[in-house]
Amino acid sequence: MSGKIKNNKIYAKLLNDDLAKSAINKLQNPIWPLCRLTLMLYLTSPYLEINQVLCELPDTIELDGIIYSEPKELLISYLNELSYIEVIKKHDSPKRDLLPKIISEEGKELDILETSIYFIQQNVLEKELESINSCLCKPMNCIICCTGPDDKASQEFFEIPLLENELELFDVEIKETPDSITTTPYDEPYLFVSGKPFYLNPITIYRWSYGYSLILPRGSRCPNLDTQGRCLIYEKRPQVCRKPQIFSKVIDKDIKDKDCFWQLRRAILAITDCPYVLALKDEITLYADKNDLDCIFMQNKI
């Protein structure tokens, strides 16, 4: 049974919201096939800059059953991401040093061409999915991502990673100790704070070996939610809160891994805790297929 049938009330709610409808349209008509064509045209052209290729695109392009009207205008917002392909022709490009090392499924390091294309795809999809998420999340009035595990969950806590400049958004204690900065919240034995595992303490921001995170213990909720479940800092919310529940995993790196290598995954990961993910399983599967990626559905809080 499809996600739409099982969650027809949620699906109908999304279709009644103009922003959500635009997000569904983006899932059905992703930008990557157009980006991929543009990259191929660049590689076979005499041009040194990707923007020169954009200027040569026709008014309408049809790819994989998707009609792109005014493709140049559609691609302008992705110009920074697409420009990484210029490292192939401009060997002195400063962006060459910004490309990560990517390891294939067979354990081999990708060459510069494959690296640039997969890196571009990862970043294009991240940008597109953030836009999709912002349109789908708001009408749901959902706070699943903003709460700790409930009594039925097997986890004891929920982690919200934070950048250092986001710490001031939360009026909670920040703990940074010799023990915390040499471990992660998932290491065993667990970090002890005040004589008990850290997750049995009140909501706290900890600095771990890989950075800061807000820890929401079982039954807790983000301190920036009001009594109606609305975010009090929505316009200034952390970067992680802007991320979708439909993740680009073209390449992936475990933040707890100090190795500098990324792994080629070629996948879309969708978190089924989220009600709109359940309602849009068919659309997400189609989105992954049109991006030549596998689609993985996973529950986060179990």
Least reliable range by pLDDT among 67-76, 109-118, 133-142, 158-167: 133-142
pLDDT of residue 7: 61
**pLDDT: which is higher, 131 or 139:** 131
- Residue 23: phi and psi, rounded to 5, are -70, -40
- Is residue 217 predicted with pLDDT exceeding 90? yes
pLDDT of residue 160: 95
> pLDDT band at residue 291, thresholds of 50, 70 and 90?
very high
pLDDT of residue 258: 54
- Is residue 103 predicted with pLDDT exceeding 50? yes
pLDDT tens digits along 197-216 = 999 999 999 999 999 999 99
d(CA 260, CA 245): 25
- Is residue 82 predicted with pLDDT exceeding 90? yes
> pLDDT band at residue 233, thresholds of 50, 70 and 90?
very high
d(CA 139, CA 24): 13
Least reliable range by pLDDT among 78-87, 231-240, 280-289: 231-240
d(CA 187, CA 87): 40
pLDDT of residue 92: 84
pLDDT of residue 1: 43
- Calculate the average pLDDT of the chain: 92
Q: How many CA atoms lie within 13 A of 104 on its CB side?
A: 8
Relative to beta strand 261-271, strand 204-208 is unpaired
Secondary structure (DSSP) of 26-55: HHHS-SHHHHHHHHHHHHTSS-SSHHHHHT
Token pair, residue 101, equals 């090392």
DSSP-assigned letter for residue 70: S
Can you give the pTM of this predicted structure? 0.85
